[in-house]
Amino acid sequence: MTIISLNVRGLGKVGEAKFNWVKNLIRANDPDIFAIQESKRKKVNDKIIEILWGNSNFEYVFKPAIGLSGGTILIWNPLKFDVSQAVEKDFFLVIKGKWEGKTSETIVINVYGPHNDNLKQKFWESLENIMQVDIEDWIICGDFNEVRKDSERQNCVFIENRAKMFNEFIDRSHLYEIPLGGMKFTRISDDGLKYSKLDRFLVSEACMTTWVGISACTLDRGHSDHCPIILKDSNFDFGPRPVRIFDSWFENVECDDLIRNAWDLNTRNTRADCIFRDKLKKVKEVLKEKCNPKFNKLNEEIESLQENVVKWEKLVGTRDLSESEIHLWMESRKKWLEKDKEKAEMLKQKARIKWATEGDENSKYFHSCTKRRQNKNNILEINTNGLWIENPQHIKEEAFKHFSNRFKKDDSRRFQFCGPLEKTLSNAEASMLEAPYSMTEIY
């Protein structure tokens, strides 16, 4: 899945520099969907879009410009995204369809937000009305013509009330902004003095689950005053991940024995550091083998125990239970509550947020928090000398170079004393600092 969004500020005529720049941008990144804002065109036809797209495998929807403003285009590859419905609204274009290989429907919206304060409220309300459709996967991209906080503007006037309206819309719609890599600002004025972050991707919480490796970054600004922004799902293998240990594991005696037995196993190495490394590896292997399947089956155990409890509670309404049956009922309930608490503690630790935020348990909320944190911490590409690197091995090498340079010893900056210190300890006084205590010295 690859989506590019660009406020082109006038697409230009076929063959002109800006038109060719957009065409080459599509060739280089091969997007499934390309969202254009402010094309400033009142008419487009299939031939123009085919030249821009580079082949005949495309469909599109177009909203013409009014005067010298607007002109929104949404182009997609029907082989990658099968669109069943397209809708044109005042400030955005909407398409609904299914991604190749996915069964659930997704709605993609290309927005070009208004500048006028009176129209902004109408803009947010229109988006919210569209989002009343019973579909979980949403991707909204484009130029919102608004920022979320003061730091997203420089040398520009920040209007707090506008930002508040924008943030409230995002909260009400349960949307999540994909962090942009690359440049901090997406719009730079022609004189190079004003900077703003106006372009972004907003997705629903369900999208974070559908696309685990989703990431976004800015591309070179080129011929527009806005940077193109790209959203894509990258599934690269960065090798084995560090083992996760949950606090609830240590409440189980069996876990202590597993770790102790794995640690006591002999290793082939004789060097102390290699022995330590190998022992940690064995502990990790044992935990992955024994504890991970147990965690995966936890939901099944909870569901089974809960059904058993419900069965007893229904039965007590039809007849009196014997002491042994009441005992079985209470035991089932006790085990269910213990397992449910274990799951809740795991979710709490994975999400790394205060449990009181959403009450005692809200699994969907905490799963979404975990996905957000994971997505935010992922490094799926890195910019080196103007080039974006995606290969996992190359990313590791660049990260190693960066930190090795940061922590390299630099003797040239070491502080040097130019003369003898006036107040120093003698050798005898210095040795007393490490001397053992004695009763005679104390008294």
pLDDT for position 238: 60
Does the pLDDT of residue 371 top 50, yes or no? yes
CA separation for the pair 214, 234 (Å, rounded): 6
What number is the average pLDDT over the span 279-288? Answer: 77
Q: What is the pLDDT of residue 374?
A: 64
| Average confidence (pLDDT) over 137-152 | 92
- pLDDT value of position 442: 46
- Give the confidence band of 358 by pLDDT, cuts at 50, 70, 90: very low
Q: What is the pLDDT of residues 147-167, one digit of tens each?
A: 999 999 999 888 888 999 999
Quick check: 214 and 208 in contact, CB under 8 A?
Answer: yes
Give residue-wise pLDDT tens across range 56-115.
Answer: 899 999 999 887 788 899 999 999 999 998 988 888 999 999 998 888 889 999 999 998
Residue (of 3, 4, 2, 6) closest to 226 by Cα position: 6
**Residue 308: pLDDT above 90?**
no
CA atoms within 13 A on the CB side of 435: 12
More confident residue, 133 or 346: 133
How far apart (Å, rounded) are the C-alpha atoms in residues 204 and 374? Answer: 15
Q: Strands 229-233 and 2-7: what pairing?
A: antiparallel
Q: Is 379 helix (H, G, I), strand (E, B) or coil?
A: coil
**How far is it, in rounded angstroms, from Cα 325 to Cα 145?**
66
Higher pLDDT, 361 or 36: 36
Q: What average pLDDT does the chain have?
A: 80
CA distances from residue 100 to 32, 61, 77, 85, 103 in whole angstroms, order as listed = 10, 20, 10, 16, 8
Evaluate if pTM is beyond 0.75.
no
Please report the pLDDT score of residue 386 as a whole number: 66
b/e sequence 314-342, b meaning 16+ C-beta within 10 Å: eeeeeeeeeeeeeeebeebbebbeebbeb
Report pLDDT for 240: 62
The lowest-confidence range among 133-142, 205-214, 397-406 is 205-214
- Cβ-contact 412, 215 below 8 angstroms: no
Q: Are 392 and 238 in contact (CB under 8 A)?
A: yes
385 vs 222 pLDDT, higher one: 222
Going from the N-terminus, what domains does the chain have, and what CATH number goes with each?
2-233 (3.60.10.10), 247-377 (no CATH)
